[in-house]
Amino acid sequence: MADMLRRRPWDFGAVGDPLVPGADAVLSRADGGIEMSGVECIKGFQRLVVLAHVMREVSGVHLDHANVRVEIVMGAARARIRRLSEEAGDYVNLTHPQDRLSRCPHLKRIAGEFRTEGEFFDHRRALSPGAAAPGDVAGRPWCT
C-alpha cells in the first residue's frame, strides 16, 4: 500500500476496504471540511499508519492526488459495525499480500507434512504437538 501511495496515489483508495471511523458527532466547517468529535478507528488502522509514514516522505501536493474511501458511522450503527468488524476475522481468513509467511511454499510443505502425521503446524506459532487444528471437529478436514 505504501508503494502504491508513493507511485500512484490516485489508486490508493481504489483497492481494499475503506477507512471506517466511528464518531459521536460530525459537524460541517465553513471551509467545506468536517469536524468529528469522539472519534475511534473501527477499521482501517493499517491504512492510516501507511498514510502517516508516507506523509513524511512525499509532499502534500503529491498526496493531494490520493483518494481514500471513508465511511463514518455513528449512533447505534457504530456499536454494531464495531462488533461485526471484530467478529469478521472469525469467519473470513483472507490471504493478504503483506502476509508473506502464509504464501511461503516451504512452510506450506512443512504444515502438510505435520498434517499427514496428525500434528498441527501453524506458521505463526510453530508446532503444537498433539493439538487439533483450529476448527477441527470430529475428524472434519481443515487447512492452515
State how far the Cα of 108 lies from the Cα of 94, in Å rounded to an integer: 16
The verdict on 26 and 7 lying in the same domain is yes
- The pLDDT of residue 101: 66
The verdict on 122 and 84 lying in the same domain is no
The verdict on 86 and 29 lying in the same domain is yes
The verdict on 85 and 32 lying in the same domain is yes
Residue 43 half-sphere exposure toward CB, CA atoms < 13 A: 23
**Residue among 49, 98, 41 at smallest CA distance from 70:** 41
The verdict on 45 and 99 lying in the same domain is no
Q: Write the Ramachandran bin of 15: left for phi over 0, alpha for psi from -120 to 50, otherwise beta.
A: beta
The verdict on 60 and 70 lying in the same domain is yes
Give the DSSP H or E segment for 127: strand 126-128
Q: Number of folded domains in the chain?
A: 2
The verdict on 77 and 14 lying in the same domain is yes
The verdict on 7 and 43 lying in the same domain is yes
- The pLDDT of residue 125: 57
Task: For the chain, 144 residues long, give each residue's pLDDT as a single digit of tens.
Answer: 889 999 999 998 887 888 899 999 999 999 999 999 999 988 888 888 889 899 999 988 998 999 888 999 999 899 898 888 877 766 665 555 455 666 678 878 888 888 888 777 766 655 455 544 444 444 434 343
The verdict on 111 and 144 lying in the same domain is yes
- Identify the residue whose cell numbers are 512525499: 58
Phi, psi of 11 (to 5 degrees): -95, -10
Tell me which amino acid residue 78 is.
Answer: R
Q: What is the pTM of this model?
A: 0.56
- The pLDDT of residue 141: 40
The verdict on 19 and 87 lying in the same domain is yes
The verdict on 6 and 38 lying in the same domain is yes
Cα 136–Cα 129–Cα 107 angle in degrees, nearest 5 = 80
- The pLDDT of residue 134: 47
- The pLDDT of residue 102: 64
Contact 120, 114 (CB under 8 A): yes
Q: Write out the residue range of the structural domain in which residue 120 sits.
A: 93-138+140-144
The verdict on 59 and 123 lying in the same domain is no
